[in-house]
Copies of this chain bind each other. A is one copy, B any other.
């Protein structure tokens, strides 16, 4: 039987770091994570970065490129990790993952003239949130 999706069982370090990111109300930076998990035996940057790389790869988290910070995926894990969009408040730094099917479809089907075939995109929208307006 072929399974549609492999269920990713997270390793110990991956689970520790995912849990931390998942319960954080704001994007977390790698070294903030490192300092937070030292009590759990994760002592060095490579341990954090390896877990982060893997979690990004399987779509459990996303990297906010403009902030070098990580958020957990708020959509149905991993499937749309190749099509990410975020709203970012320039005042309070709040980040929210946008799940807008029309937007996602529009960008996924975007065809660029010069022969590019797109496999993935990342969109970051900046402005002021409700509170900060």
Is residue A126 contacting chain B, with contact meaning CB distance below 8 A? yes
0/1 per residue, A96-122, Cβ < 8 Å to B?
101010010011001010111111111
Are A126 and B115 within 8 A (Cβ)? Answer: no
Is residue A30 contacting chain B, with contact meaning CB distance below 8 A? no
Q: Which parts of A54-103 form the interface with B (CB within 8 Å)?
A: 65-66, 87, 89-90, 96, 98, 100, 103
Are B110 and A121 within 8 A (Cβ)? Answer: no
- Chain B residue nearest to A94 in the complex (CB): B116
Residues of A within 8 A of B (CB): 65-66, 87, 89-90, 96, 98, 100, 103, 106-107, 110, 112, 114-130, 133
